[in-house]
Structure 1
């Protein structure tokens, strides 16, 4: 159920054409195949292995969005203050320059 809601949410957010283009990009094939295989394993009754594959696919697919998410989280009032501390700031600054255009 969560996978169906995930795909429908992505499709409603960016549109059907953009969703298909995103998942069919050559550099996203590894993540798309991992996510799809994980979904298949969950459906046939291997939920632990399937969820691990899905998590890997999700991380590979959306790794280009992490720097943008980090900047957004630093602007949230209380969470932003915590993330501005030296340890977190050095961690985010290390990955901020690696944005991948979508």
Structure 2
């Protein structure tokens, strides 16, 4: 296996707190302070987990530049003071950036014991298949 460094452990914690603050900011009717703090913590955690150079290469690949502009533009709009509009722009950028990762994440979640059986229910399964982009999947 591979060894996890202390910086990566700190990065996972920062990204986790970032997601928590983003969730809390949305729950508390788009509180701009919590959303800004969540964005900063999430980006800091991502940089610590995969490294500064790989983070920069990820966001500034030629085919991901539209998603990066929307994502960072949304963060700037949140920091300026329009949290609802900023989060909509940021969500669009997030979907463009991480859409290639959705099938991997969904297939992983299908293997989690309780969550996997919930995702394989008839109505939910069709929705999850469309989200994953996998029209003819096979289960093992």
Which residue pairs with 2:103 in the alignment? 67
Deviation at 1:86, TM superposition (A): 3.6
Structure 1 residues not aligned, in runs of 5+:
98-102
Deviation at 1:17, TM superposition (A): 1.1
Structure 2 residues not aligned, in runs of 5+:
1-36, 136-140
RMSD of the TM alignment (CA)?
Answer: 1.6
TM-score, normalised by the number of residues in structure 2:
0.63
Residue among 33, 43, 61 paired with 1:25: 61
Report the count of equivalent residues.
Answer: 97
Cα distance in structure 2, aligned partners of 1:71 and 1:80: 9
TM-score, normalised by the number of residues in structure 1:
0.84
- Deviating beyond 3 angstroms after TM superposition, the runs of 4 or more aligned structure 1 residues are 86-94
Structure label with greater radius of gyration: 2
Q: More helix by proportion, 1 or 2?
A: 1
